[in-house]
Amino acid sequence: MILVSACLCGINTKYNGENNLSQGVLKLIRKEKMIPICPEQLGGLTTPRKPCEICGGTGGDVLDRKAIVITSDGKNVTDNFLRGAYETLNLAKAFNIRKAILKSKSPSCGYNKIYDGSFKRNIIKGNGVTTELLIKNGVKIYTEEDISSGSKV
């Protein structure tokens, strides 16, 4: 079984109420058992919601309380992101999940690349909050970009 960002499955969980449907992920869904998740919703945020970015670091820094997650209008939503990350981890543990396909660049789900907190679409190296927590607990992470480029899950 694989965790997958719900937005990649065509579920309207994206901050603007839309989705990030990935044809590659859609093909995998037909072959593999997957659990769609949206850590931001699991953390209590609504859809739609204001765009969010990590400010002052990466997902690991948020887990260590050295950085925060803010909305585009400056509201601190760090606790929502932490709650969503831990709820996602609880699901992974409950179903013994060792793999996840997550949305690239997301402040929750980004893997190796996230936005820098300026809301100017600048990319930095780092992971989202949920991704970092899953990695620390032994879950292998893929993004929709990996799936599109032919990576095997």
- pLDDT tens digits, one per residue of 21-55: 999 999 988 898 999 999 999 999 999 999 999 99
List the structure tokens of 114. 């996230």
How many whole angstroms separate alpha carbon 134 and alpha carbon 132?
Answer: 5
DSSP 105: B
Q: Report whether 116 contacts 21 (CB < 8 A).
A: no
Confidence of residue 90 (pLDDT cuts 50, 70, 90): very high
Amino acid 106: pLDDT: 98
Answer whether residue 70 shows pLDDT above 90. yes
The answer to whether 90 touches 137, Cβ cutoff 8 Å, is no
Report how far residue 55's alpha carbon sits from residue 40's, in angstroms, rounded to the nearest whole number: 16
The structure's pTM equals 0.96
pLDDT at 145 over 90: yes
pLDDT higher than 90, residue 18? yes
% of the chain at pLDDT higher than 70: 100
> Residue 68 has what pLDDT?
99
Query: What integer is the mean pLDDT of 101-130?
Result: 98
Task: Using alpha carbons, select from 102, 96, 83, 80 the residue that is nearest to residue 137.
Answer: 96
Does 152 have pLDDT greater than 90? no
